[in-house]
Structure 1
Amino acid sequence: MATTTVMHTLLVPEKSQDQQGVFYQDVIRGLSAKNKFLEAKYFYDAEGDRLFQQIMQLQEYYPTACEMEILQGQSAAICKTILDSTTHFDVVELGAGDATKSIHLLRELLKGKTDFTYYPVDISGNVIAQLERSLPQQLPGLRVQGMHGEYFEMLREVSILSGRNKVVLCLGGNIGNFTPTEARQFCRQLRNYLQPGDLVIIGFDLKKHPQVILNAYNDRSGVTKEFNLNLLRRINRELGGNFDTSKFDHYATYDPGTGACKSYLVSLEVQQVKVGNKLFEFGLHETMYMEISQKYSIEETDCLATQSGFGPLADFYDSRSWFADCVWHCI
């Protein structure tokens, strides 16, 4: 999981008019695989969003507070890094959500009389409309132009609207929702939509004591378990499934060597599950892979940057060095 309610916007759902059909096909494909899986982008119905809001308030779930600490306390230093590199730019935020973190950076840029337009990008039209209403009230003088759509399509639109350099925000540790290979593909694709001199500020959840990470994804109150089980309930409701959630348990695992924190659901008995007109067999203790939350060392973030066409400029840490917002420039 990433650290905002919009973590799923990096895992962009298809824009087909037949989204239910796509959802169904993705579920059937996952349940038909030798090693069963479900796609994390489907966690976020209304109930999933509500549960993730709860997760972010849990004592064990540290990433949200860590990145907020960085942006509340170090926005002036981040802005100086930006202005040392470019003074003629606009700010584009991918998966802007409610902008509760980026607002600190925007406020600091306004304080310095920087001339820029803020382009929040989100797949939720409601999110964009709310930002266009609320941010100018909170930050008088801020120019906001919301972009409702898929990330790279909207980046292309912004480049047409403005010839300035871009400062692209990818906050919240959303990059952790990808495997390292997928993250590299995403960053290379992002670089293809940018120009030399553009900057990216990207949040990474860092490797730390394994138990701290494991606790964050296996909380004592069981909210993360409910968050995972909620996807089965969504399948029941929207796709005619008959999952009995009492017959599944949640299991999180963390490999400190690879940095991969993975979540599974485990079948507690031999059972059959029907989705639509398809029937699936689950064995006793058979697992179903749900999501990855990849953790990085700062050396690995630097390597990801250079492999993707960026150069690392600066890294900003919380007081425990558990999270980093990394500033990269386009080479």
Structure 2
Amino acid sequence: MATTSVMHTVLVPVKQDQQEIFLQDVIRGLSAKNKYLDSKYFYDAEGDRLFQEIMRCHEYYPTNCEMEILQEQSAAISQTILSYTNRFDVVELGAGDATKSIHLLRELLNTGKDFTYYPVDISGNVITQLEQSLPSQLPALKVHGLHGEYFDMLQEANVLSDKNKVVLCMGGNIGNFTPVEARKFARQLRNYLQPGDLVMIGFDLKKHPQIILDAYNDSAGITKDFNLNLLKRINRELGGNFDITKFDHYPTYDPGTGACKSYLVSLEEQDVTVGGQTFHFGLHEYIYMEISQKYDLEATEQLAVQSGFETVANFFDNRKWFADNMWLCV
């Protein structure tokens, strides 16, 4: 992203602060009794590229399931929205390339309603691309990108417009939290909304355990590379000396709890240095990398009620592997 020389001098300390936070988070995780790394650091440029590859893997079903819902049911979703509010704006948390939400935006435009689309993303590059590409695809759409953290930008959207908010929280991103964390997130989300606002939130549903496990352990090994890439990023940005050949990727899925977790396992006893600190790994010691929580419909209903929402509609793909639930703020 191009900046003026004045802006550049302002941004340099921010970049350093972010790198320092990254280092502190890594040191905190590797110092823990049960080592872990924060999954939000997966997404550097290479991590983004690898995740795009994962989404194209035949084993990775969530993207296609939700795309089917938006392609085939946007008219029904639009009708549901209009049955609760005629004066609204659309806020999408983690908008990405908007390839799914564009189907709903087109349908809402066809109703003749006057609304603004506020895509929110932590990546400024993503927001810039959306502001450039969407007007050519949907000329009638008013777009106002918001670059920053979800809740900060949701508050900004509230300042910019007093209309009801239709918040899109798709992609099954709620699954990146444990159930306890998901409840905390949903309650926080509710705190930034008003009665009558709507949230469409995506949930990856429980299904045959092997289908789920395969999605996070693809035959081409791309998910393994995606996890190992975080070690490469630590080496490159924080001066780490991880030898990635000495770690293996190990995914697990517990159908009872719905928790799908990924680990990196040390293949030998070894020492790794990051930021001038040395961390010892025992043989077969693991690093906990991420969770992808799966839900049944009853659990999604409970989460809504516990967080100050009422479920007013559920939209499924034809196999009922994924659900986009419409929640009303009460």
TM-score between the two structures when normalised by the length of structure 1: 0.94
Which ranges in structure 2 are unaligned for 5 or more consecutive residues? 1-13
3-state SS of the aligned residue for 2:311? strand
Residues 212-227 of structure 1 correspond to what in structure 2 (within 5 A)?
A: 212-227=211-226
Residues 292-331 of structure 1 correspond to what in structure 2 (within 5 A)?
A: 292-331=291-330
How far residue 260 of structure 1 moved from its aligned partner, in angstroms, is 0.3
How far residue 122 of structure 1 moved from its aligned partner, in angstroms, is 1.1
Moved more, 276-285 or 188-197: 276-285
2: CA distance, partners of 1:196 / 1:80: 19
- 1:123-148: CA deviations, max 9, x gaps? 11221111111111101211111111
3-state SS of the aligned residue for 1:195? coil
2: CA distance, partners of 1:238 / 1:136: 36
Q: Which residue of 1 aligns with 2:239?
A: 240
The AA in structure 1 aligned to 2:269 is V
Q: Which residue of 1 aligns with 2:175?
A: 176
2: CA distance, partners of 1:122 / 1:270: 40
1: CA distance, partners of 2:275 / 2:151: 34
Q: Which residue of 2 aligns with 1:94?
A: 93
1: CA distance, partners of 2:81 / 2:16: 40
3-state SS of the aligned residue for 1:265? strand
Matched, 1:104 2:103: yes
2: CA distance, partners of 1:126 / 1:29: 29
Superposition RMSD on alpha carbons, in Å? 0.9
- 1:121-179: CA deviations, max 9, x gaps? 11112211111111111012111111111111111111111111000000111110000
The AA in structure 1 aligned to 2:156 is E
1: CA distance, partners of 2:190 / 2:291: 23
3-state SS of the aligned residue for 1:42? helix
Q: Which residue of 1 aligns with 2:132?
A: 133
The AA in structure 2 aligned to 1:171 is M
2: CA distance, partners of 1:274 / 1:103: 45
The AA in structure 2 aligned to 1:315 is N
Among all aligned residue pairs of Structure 1 and Structure 2, give the percentage whose two residues are the same amino acid: 75
The AA in structure 2 aligned to 1:261 is C
Are the structure 2 counterparts of residues 164 and 141 from structure 1 closer, same or farther at C-alpha, using a change threshold of 3 Å? same
Q: Which residue of 2 aligns with 1:11?
A: none
2: CA distance, partners of 1:188 / 1:209: 30
Q: How many residues align?
A: 317
Matched, 1:58 2:57: yes
Q: Which residue of 2 aligns with 1:18?
A: 17
The AA in structure 2 aligned to 1:132 is E
Q: Which residue of 2 aligns with 1:3?
A: none
How far residue 16 of structure 1 moved from its aligned partner, in angstroms, is 7.2
- 1:50-82: CA deviations, max 9, x gaps? 111110000100000000000000000000110
2: CA distance, partners of 1:147 / 1:280: 39
Q: Which residue of 2 aligns with 1:256?
A: 255
Q: Which residue of 2 aligns with 1:192?
A: 191
How far residue 112 of structure 1 moved from its aligned partner, in angstroms, is 1.3
1: CA distance, partners of 2:134 / 2:85: 24
The AA in structure 2 aligned to 1:170 is C
1: CA distance, partners of 2:249 / 2:229: 11
Which ranges in structure 1 are unaligned for 5 or more consecutive residues? 1-14
The AA in structure 2 aligned to 1:134 is S
3-state SS of the aligned residue for 1:290? strand
Are the structure 2 counterparts of residues 302 and 186 from structure 1 closer, same or farther at C-alpha, using a change threshold of 3 Å? same
3-state SS of the aligned residue for 2:195? coil
The AA in structure 2 aligned to 1:100 is T
TM-score between the two structures when normalised by the length of structure 2: 0.95
2: CA distance, partners of 1:32 / 1:77: 50
2: CA distance, partners of 1:152 / 1:30: 25
Matched, 1:123 2:150: no
Q: Which residue of 2 aligns with 1:83?
A: 82
Deviating above 6 A after TM superposition, structure 1's stretches of 4 or more consecutive aligned residues are none
2: CA distance, partners of 1:134 / 1:29: 40
How far residue 17 of structure 1 moved from its aligned partner, in angstroms, is 4.9
2: CA distance, partners of 1:160 / 1:225: 42
- 1:267-310: CA deviations, max 9, x gaps? 11111111121111111111110000000001100100000000
Q: Which residue of 1 aligns with 2:6?
A: none
Residues 155-174 of structure 1 correspond to what in structure 2 (within 5 A)?
A: 155-174=154-173
2: CA distance, partners of 1:91 / 1:258: 33
3-state SS of the aligned residue for 1:140? coil
2: CA distance, partners of 1:157 / 1:233: 35
